[in-house]
Amino acid sequence: MNDKHLTASELDLYVENELTAPARAEMEAHLATCATCRAQVAFDQEMSRALRVLPRQEPPRDLAARIDSAVQVRVAQDQLRRARMPFIFAATVFSALLLVWFGFQLAVAFQVNGTFDFVSLLTSRPDIFSTDSIDAIWALIDAVPIGEIVLTLFALFTVIVLAQQWVETIRPPSSHSGYTHAH
Ligand SMILES: [Zn+2]
């Protein structure tokens, strides 16, 4: 048998150590003289080692656990969203009321300061600007209720931001609809 190379099944049995002692001794006698078969055995042993290591690198249980934890994160996010919903709604309503109040204050300030009267005076008599422009500009700044305008704009901005959050909270999540609807 020394002149014949080892077959694939013989190599397999040798690498997996499933040979009887005499058969093994016979193969080792050939391997001692044949570099080609020694190389083949070395290669098969390397492959066998690699295949034994491979399943441990990606155990399906780890994958399942990772999917499960990802789902749990999603569920927790949904619960957090639902828990935040009343607060965001209350904040939106409150800031909307503030906006109405500041808007009312602004209208009153326009009335008291006579802003519109002053503006209509300026537009009907543009010569005021050319003759005494600095005084006219100061008078205009005086007539404009800047504080009320800033507060109203701030309240408006707050309402917009909160309303966007509110819409974001009540909108059903689209990316994993099948899961949440099961609950
Ligand atoms: Zn050989």
Query: DSSP letters along 92-150, please?
Result: HHHHHHHHHHHHHHHHHHHHHHTHHHHHHHHHH-THHHHHHHHHHHHHHHHHS-HHHHH
Residue-range domain boundaries for the chain:
8-57, 83-181
- For residue 65, report the distance from its CA to the centre of ligand 1, in Å: 48
Q: How far does residue 35's CA lie from ligand 1's centre (Å)?
A: 7
Residues 166 and 89: beta-carbon distance below 8 Å: yes
| Model pLDDT for residues 130-156, shown as the tens digit of each residue | 666 777 777 777 778 888 888 899 999
pLDDT digits (tens, 9 = 90+) for 35-59: 999 999 999 998 888 887 766 656 6
CA of 41 to the centre of ligand 1 (A): 10
Question: Could you tell me the pTM of the whole model?
Answer: 0.46
Whose structure tokens read 């609807």?
181
What is the Å distance from ligand 1's center to 127 Cα? 113
User: How many angstroms separate the alpha carbon of residue 26 from the centre of ligand 1?
Assistant: 12
CA–centroid distance, 17 to ligand 1, in Å, is 18
Neighbours of 102 (CB within 10 A): 20
Going from the Cα of 3 to the center of ligand 1, the distance in angstroms, rounded, reads 7
Please report where in the chains the tokens 């209720």 appear, as a residue: 145
